[in-house]
Amino acid sequence: MSTTASPPRVQTDLSVRIGSLTLTGPVLVASGTYGYGDEFGARFSIERLGGIVTKTVTLKPRAGNPPHRMVETPSGMLNSIGLENVGLKAFIADKLPKLAAVPTAILASVGGETPGELFRLVRALEAAPCAGYEINFSCPNVARGGARYWADARRLETTTRKLRTLTARPLIAKLTPNATDPSALARACEQGGADAVSLVNTFVGTAIDLERRRFVLGRASGGLSGPAIKPLALAQVHEVSGAVKIPVIGMGGIVTATDALEFLLAGAACVQVGTASFARPDAPMRVAEGVAAWCAAHGIAHVADLVRTVRVWGEGEEGDAWT
Amino acid sequence: MERAPEAVRTAFAQVDAEVLRNEPLPGTRLWWAELNAPADFPEPLPGQFVMVAPRLARASGQLLARPFSLARAVRSDGGWTLGILYARVGRGTDLMSRQAAGSWSVLGPLGRGFQVDHKGPALLVGGGRGTAPLVFLAEWLEARGRGCEFLVGARGQADWAGPEEMGVHLTRSRVWPATEDGSRGLDGRVLELFAREPVLAEALAAKGARIHACGPHGLLAAVGALGQGFGVPVDVSIEAHMACGTGICRSCMVPRAADGPKARKGQNESYLVSCLEGPVVPAACVDWARDRDSAPATAYEPLDIELGGALA
C-alpha cells in the first residue's frame, strides 16, 4: 500500500467507541465469516482485531438451506446459507465459554423471526459473557424473519426500543442494503435507541446454470458479497452516516487495508471484514495491521479523525498543492 | 449404531508454493501441476485437500481459492512436492492452466482423509479425475509395505488419469483399467470389474476389506450400494461448492442420510460439512437421493473468448 505522505510517525489511537463499549481497533470480523471465533484457535493474531461478531444465533438450532449454498461470481460470491447455527442453548453452553479466552471483544449476532424471539435471545444472553449484540435485521436467505420482514422502519424502531430496555450492552442494528431508503431504516434504529448501525449485509442476487436450466443455488437467490459490492456499500455507508448521529459500522467487499480506510473516509466509525476471510483466513488481521501502519505513516492521531472526511472535488481545495 | 465421523482440523498453513510443473497430461483433457510447498507446510495425509489460488487470480477478479484433493505429497528438499490433477472447467482452473511459473497460494492440508486402519485388502475405485486422491493413497500405502487393487475408470482416453500418468510407479499393487468407450482396459463401467475379475471379487469378500472411492457422485452412490451389498465398508471422497475449506462458511454441505451413521453432538443433523467431516466420509453417511451434482454442466468459455481474444 502506498505511504507517500511523510509526516512524523505517530502512535495512532485506534480505539473506537460503540455505546458503552470501547473497541481496541477499527477492524472487526463480520458475522458468519469467522464462525464462533474459536475455530482457528491461536493460529492468528486475533488480538489485532477490534472484535469478532459471531455467527448469528437463533432460539432453536437451524439446519440451513439445501445445497447448493454458494457460487462464485465475478469478484464476489453468492451465498444462501440460511442462518445455519447451533441454537441458543448450545451457543451459551458450548461456544461462548471457549470465546472467553479470545483476546478481543465478542459481539453476539442474534436473529429472530419475530420481535419476541429477539427479546428472548437478548434476555438469555444477558447472563452470558459477550460484550454486546449485533441484531441481524437483514438476512436475505430465510423465509421468515429476514431482510424483507425487517425492512420496515416502524417495526425496527419499536423492536429496538424494547431491546434497549433489556440491555445496557451495545446494541448494533445490522441493516439490509436491499431497501428503497436505507437511511430511514437507520434513523428508526437510532430513534429506538440503537448504539450503532452496521451495513451493508449482502445484496440479493442469483446465478443460473444454463445447461441444467436451473438456478445454481438451492433456494434460487442468495446474498452477493465480496469486492463486487464494495462501491455499492461505500455509497450506502456514506449516505447513512450523513443521516444518523450514531456510529456506522461499514462493510461490503473489504479485502485490503485500503478498502477499510476508504470506508472510514466514507463515514464508517469502524469496519467489518467478511468474505475476504473465506479467501484467506488471515485477511482481517492483515487489514487491521495495514490500517494501523497507514495511520502511523500519515500522522493520524486518532482513527476517528478519518471518519467521514471524504470531500468532493472543488470542496476545501484552497490549500492543495495544485491550486 | 455407528457414529458419523468427527470433524477434523489438523494443522494447516497458508503458503506460497512454487510451480514446478503445470502442463496437460498427454492425450487427455486433464492437467497436472506440481508445486513446491515450503517446510512449514504440515504433512498431508491421503484424502486431504488444499485450497489453491494462482497468482493471476486476484488480478483477474477471482475471489476464492479452489479445492483440490492432493494426488501426491512427496518430501523434497525444504518442503513438499504436491501433485494436483485438474481439468479446465471454469475460470479458476482456466487461470491455473495459464500460470506455469511463479507461485500459487496454497492453504492446507485440510479435512479428513481416508481411513486406513483396516487389515484386509484396500480396494481403490476412481472415476475420471477422481483418481487423484487415490493415487496419493496408493503411493502412501506402498511406502508402508501395503499394496492395493486400484480400479481406474474413465469415459475414455481423454479423461484417463492413472497413477503412471502422475508419476507413481506401483510395485505391490495392481491397476485395473476400465473405460466406457472401450479404449483402455475393460469396455464398460468401472464397477463391472468386480463381476468380471475373480481376483477382485475375492478381495471384496476377504476379511477386513475396505473400499476407498472418489469420482462423480453417481459412481460414489453405486460404490456405496455395492459395499452395502457385500458388507464391506466404503469410504468416499465427496465434492461440493466450497468457499473457505476450513468449516467456517458452511457452503459445502452435503445431505446426511437419515438412516446412516448418527450425527454427533454439535453436528448438523441434516447435512455433512464436506470440508471438515470429509471430504472422505463413509458412503452410508450421504443421502445420495437428496445430493446435488456440483460439477459444472455448462462448458466453460475461456477468458480470451469472453474478452474477444484480447488476452490470447
Query: Residues A272-298: what's their mean pLDDT?
Result: 96
Residue that the C-alpha cell 528438499 belongs to: B77
Amino acid residing at B27: G
Which pLDDT band holds residue A320 (cuts at 50, 70, 90)?
A: low
pTM of the predicted structure, to 2 decimals: 0.94
- Report the distance separating Cα B151 and Cα A288, nearest Å: 50
CB B48 within 8 A of CB B25: no
Which pLDDT band holds residue A323 (cuts at 50, 70, 90)?
A: very low
List chain A residues with CB under 8 Å of B53: 279
Q: Report CA-CA distances (Å) from B177 to B127, B146, B164, B174, B194.
A: 10, 20, 12, 10, 12
Residue that the C-alpha cell 510443473 belongs to: B21
For the stretch A77-114, pLDDT in tens is: 999 999 999 999 999 999 999 888 888 999 999 999 99
- Report the distance separating Cα A30 and Cα A272, nearest Å: 5
Question: Is residue B8 less than 8 Å (CB to CB) from chain A?
Answer: no
* DSSP assignment letter at B112: B
Number of A:B CB contacts under 8 A?
A: 113
Strands B271-273 and B280-282: unpaired
Q: Which residues of chain B have pLDDT under 50?
A: 309-312
Residue of A76, A90, A282 with shortest CB distance to B14: A282
pLDDT of residue B302: 63
Strands B103-110 and B13-24: antiparallel
Q: Is A139 tagged catalytic?
A: yes
pLDDT of residue B303: 58
A279 and B63 in contact by Cβ < 8 A? yes
How many residues make up chain B in this entry? 312
Question: Is residue B105 less than 8 Å (CB to CB) from chain A?
Answer: yes
Within a 10 A sphere around the Cβ of B295, how many other Cβ atoms? 10
Residues 6+ apart with CB under 8 A from A156: A137, A150, A173, A185, A188, A189, A192
- Report the distance separating Cα A34 and Cα A293, nearest Å: 24
Tell which of B250, B256, B268 to mutate to test the A interface (max A CBs under 10 Å).
B250
What is the predicted ipTM?
A: 0.92
Residue that the C-alpha cell 456514506 belongs to: A238
- Report the distance separating Cα A145 and Cα A136, nearest Å: 9
Contact residues of A toward B, CB < 8 A: 32-35, 39-40, 63-64, 66-72, 74-77, 79, 81, 84, 86, 90, 94, 209-212, 218, 226-227, 275, 277-282
For the stretch A117-151, pLDDT in tens is: 999 999 999 999 999 999 999 999 999 999 999 99
For the stretch A163-198, pLDDT in tens is: 999 999 999 999 999 999 999 999 999 999 999 999
Q: What average pLDDT does chain A have?
A: 93
Identify the helix (H) or strand (E) that includes residue A71.
strand A70-73
Residue B270's nearest CA partner among A161, A66, A86 is: A66
